[in-house]
Amino acid sequence: MKLIINGGKALNGEIKLQGSKNAATKMMVASLLTDEECIFENFPQIGDVEITAEFFRSIGSEININGSIAVLKTSEIKNFKVESLGRVNRIPILTLGPLLARFGKAQVPFLGGDKIGNRPVDIHLTALKALGAQIETQENSFLVSIPNGLKGAKINFRYPSVGATENAIFAAVLAKGRTTIKNAAVEPEIIDLIEMLQNMGAIIGLGTDRTIYIDGVKKLGGVRRKVMPDRNEAASFACLAAANKGNKIKIKEAIHNHLITFLNEFRRVGGEYRVENDGIIFWRSNGLSAIELETDTHPGFMTDWQQPFAILLTQADGISIIHETVYDNRFSYVKDLNFMGANIKVFSKCLGELPCRFNGEGQYHSAVISGLTPLSGKNIKVPDLRAGMAHLTAALIAQGESVIEGVEEIDRGYERIDERLKNLGADINRII
Ligand code: EPU
């Protein structure tokens, strides 16, 4: 599937955020913890949710999706083995907790997802082992059992991994006794998940210094909940608003509190915004100027925001620097941007101040962007989801025609992106 974009059009108007991909898929996993019905509103219609629904059905879930309402019910876990079904995302490993709690054993395929660097699962496995899991590594999967049941434990993460935090929470809510997770991730999607689990009957809370504590309960019940708006979409559209010369874009349902760090960098680079009751308006009046920024775990500048922000920085006057400290290989999109006229060089040295796990490891995780560079339309192929959105943003502000191939990657995380951008005035067509 391809998108043909005739770039350089003035974009303005309103765009409503979809439900968050990274919240919705985890809410689906939470629904496996109960045999009762869970109803989700504002459910995003995206590829990652379809992949997740497909394998959930194979383990026994009944799933009905009608527009933006999804109803999930897993009366019984019928199959402890999660098949990869040809397409795998990051979610199967998160089902270990629910499957173990309800079935006593589980088998999940190795992870799929984006090609954004080395993505080990050691922190997930350490947490599960602490909670009583025995893990056997097979050719393409993990086979996990709990000979003595799931038992609460004290866990101290070497790094605040989002997925490992979620995994430990899922395994601990129905475990016997208290679990404490230190150095846990506290992203808004995780806080939202904690709220949802509380509504299902869990005892779970936040302590100081990234500590999450959980007192296991015997049973969880159903829930009705709205999926939170996608803060990654918000950042993508805000960057588009400022990169495309001065037209206002109102992002409906954008939540100020989820974007605090983003908004500061946005203002530093020369973007302007106004927070309203039902969303945030983004624009720019003057030229943009170069800045340096570093990605980090929440509440830092999110790694998923750096790709759209890099497009903005190609339109800023001077030398900007991005130090990526979350993933070791998240600049794969740079080659295509340079092909379109950008001037970006990547370095393996840490060009920043934050402590970084990639220091001295040789991965290209810092970028120097020299601006301002006009971009011109080209034929490009999407390497991964967020990079794909960066390509799309670049094509929208570039002069001339771009052809973007591999749109399925963008569709994994962005709902009907072409239609929604058309409403802002984009000249964009999908070729199936
Ligand atoms: N890590 C380890 N060991 C582990 C787990 C993680 O070394 O056991 C490392 C990773 O290699 C990476 C870092 O920790 O360098 C961060 O990984 P994390 O586990 O926090 O990320 P994740 O749970 O795999 C989620 C989102 C990502 C988002 C990150 C960071 C989902 C499905 N994915 O990934 O979103 O970038 O948190 O916020 O929730 C996306 O939506 O495009 C996306 C990649």
Q: What is the pLDDT of residues 119-162, one digit of tens each?
A: 789 999 999 999 999 999 998 899 999 999 999 999 999 999 99
Which candidate in 35, 48, 114, 122 is catalytic? 114
Closest CA to 316 of 255, 262, 263, 370: 370
**Protein residue whose Cα sits closest to atom 2 of ligand 1:** 120
Going by C-alpha positions, the residue among 368, 378, 420 that lies closest to residue 399 is: 378
Q: Model confidence over 68-85: pLDDT tens digits?
A: 999 999 999 999 999 876
Calculate how far, in angstroms, residue 161's C-alpha sits from the geometric centre of ligand 1: 6
Closest atom of ligand 1 to CA, residue 114: 44
Confidence of residue 246 (pLDDT cuts 50, 70, 90): low
Task: Express each pLDDT in 158-216 by its tens digit.
Answer: 999 999 999 999 999 999 999 999 999 999 999 999 999 999 999 999 999 999 999 99
- How much of the chain exceeds pLDDT 70, in percent? 97
Query: Which ligand 1 atom sits closest to the C-alpha of 385?
Result: 42
Place of tokens 């080990």: 120
Pocket test residue of 121, 135, 155, 326 for ligand 1, highest count of atoms within 8 A of CB: 326
**Would you say 329 and 118 are in contact if contact means Cβ atoms under 8 Å apart?**
yes
d(Cα 375, Cα 56) in Å, to the nearest integer? 43
**Distance between CA atoms of residues 165 and 110, nearest Å:** 18
Closest by CA position to 88, among listed 47, 139, 126, 143: 47
Give the best-scoring range by mean pLDDT among 69-73, 381-385, 412-416: 69-73
Question: Quick check: 116 pLDDT over 60?
Answer: no
Decide if pLDDT at 113 tops 60: no
Ligand 1 pocket (Cβ < 6 Å) reads 21-22, 90, 114, 118-124, 159, 161-164, 185, 187, 302-304, 326-327, 385-386, 413
Tell me the average pLDDT across 39-44: 98
Residue 117: predicted pLDDT: 58
Distance 375 CA to ligand 1 centre (A): 31
DSSP string, 222-253: -EEEEPPB-HHHHHHHHHHHHHTTT--EEEET
pLDDT of residue 383: 84
> Above 60 in pLDDT, residue 48?
yes
**pLDDT above 80 for 417:** yes
**Ligand 1 atom index nearest CA of 302:** 38
Torsion of CA 342, 348, 350, 351, to 10 degrees: -30
What does the pLDDT read at residue 384? 85
Question: What DSSP assignment string belongs to 264-291?
Answer: HHHHHHT-EEEEETTEEEEE-SS-EE--
pLDDT of residue 86: 63
The C-alpha atoms of residue 208 and residue 185 are separated, in whole angstroms, by: 12
Q: Helix or strand or coil: residue 424?
A: coil
Relative orientation angle of helices 47-59 and 21-31, to the nearest 10 degrees: 10
- In the reported structure, the alpha carbon of residue 165 is separated from the centroid of ligand 1 by a whole-number distance in angstroms of 10
Q: Give the per-residue SS3 of 15-36.
A: EECCECHHHHHHHHHHHCCCCC
Kindly tell me if the per-residue pLDDT of 412 is higher than 70.
yes
Q: What is the pLDDT of residue 87?
A: 65
Tell me, yes or no, if 114 is annotated catalytic: yes
What tokens appear for 150 in the block? 């799931």
Q: Is the pLDDT of residue 371 over 80?
A: yes
Å from CA of 107 to ligand 1 middle: 21
106-107-113-116 Cα dihedral, nearest 10 degrees: 100
> Residue 98: is the preceding peptide bond cis (ω within 30°)?
no
Alpha helices in 255-384, H assignment, sequence order: 260-269, 306-314, 334-339
pLDDT at 318 over 80: yes
Decide if pLDDT at 114 tops 60. no
Q: Is the pLDDT of residue 354 over 80?
A: yes
Q: Which residue out of 161, 363, 412 has the highest number of ligand 1 atoms within 8 Å of its CB and is therefore the one to mutate?
A: 161
Protein residue with least CA distance to atom 33, ligand 1:
22
Mean pLDDT of the chain: 95
**Which tokens in the block code for residue 270?**
């020369």
- Which of 161, 254, 146, 199 minimizes the C-alpha distance to 27? 199
pLDDT grade for 406, boundaries at 50, 70 and 90: very high
108 CA from centroid of ligand 1 (Å): 18
> What's the average model confidence in pLDDT over 82-100?
85
Whole-structure pTM value: 0.96
pLDDT confidence of residue 110: 84
For 4, 134, 216, 224, the CA distances from 179, given in Å and listed in that order, are 51, 18, 8, 26
For residues 304 and 388, is the Cβ–Cβ distance under 8 A? no
Task: Give 119 Cα–ligand 1 centroid separation in angstroms.
Answer: 7
